[in-house]
Structure 1
Amino acid sequence: MTFDQIAWLPLCIGVTIAGLALSFLAFRRRGAAAGLRTTAWALLPLAAYLTGALSSLWTVGATLVGFVTGLVFNPLVWSGVALTGLSVVLFVVSGVLRGRSAAKGAGPAKAKEAPRAPEGAAAPKGTATGKPAVEPPKKRTNDDDFSDIEEILRRRGIG
């Protein structure tokens, strides 16, 4: 059914009159605030017809209904949805595999970065124990952060 096949003016007037009757009842039973709110809702159908907004609302509604029914009842669309799901699963799996390969590759790479001196080899210059003169900074862990916080709290007398 198209927009032009419906007699909109009598329909909008009827809905508005029914709404005004309900607003009268709302005034009597629930007070002025409820009555005014119901009156405001009752006037909207006639206002939509008189401003021409009703045809725009009809077009939007018909387009949405056509889109949803085309989505639900079209097997070609469902195959596209299935392919989208497969693509998402493949992205997730590739990310997991990339994370595993990076974790496996990081272990041997660290071992290659810091070669050990043979036991019989002389200590590097500047140290008597074989340790480098300047130690590289240690990586901080969450435990170190919490111990710093605990130390600060102890110094302040808290805890």
Structure 2
Amino acid sequence: MIAETVCSAVSAAGLGIAAVTAYRRRFLTAARIAAYSLVPIGLVMTGVVEWLADTAFSPVAWAGFAVLGVSWALFMTTRAVERRRGGTRKERKEARAAARRDAVAPAASAPSLGPGDRQATRPAAKPTAAPRGDEDFSDIEAILKKHGI
């Protein structure tokens, strides 16, 4: 009964604040405040507040929350231990099997050399020496080509 009264008072105060805000020509903010202030009265009308009040003062409900907390703590502890070990036995076994499948074949460790080009094996001819003036422009040309100009 008290919870319903408090929720109704909170809703009435919120609607009053929304009216003052609307009077100041801040309609969007006023609408948002009105929406928030209607939530408590809506919860009272649906019976959620009564259910919450009954739950808050029930020792059985608090014991249930304690059991849920212990369950959550056990779950998190087992997950942490599992991560430190590297997973379950089944997961470790699957990981080892996958590592064996993904291993490089012994024959593939040697580089494979195909017939290739004969020109690639020849030493490259020395470039002809350009006059000193062209060397300065070659750098500029390279920069311009890089930028697509």
TM-score (norm 2): 0.46
Where relative contact order (Cα < 8 A, 6+ residues apart) is larger, the structure is 2
TM-score (norm 1): 0.43
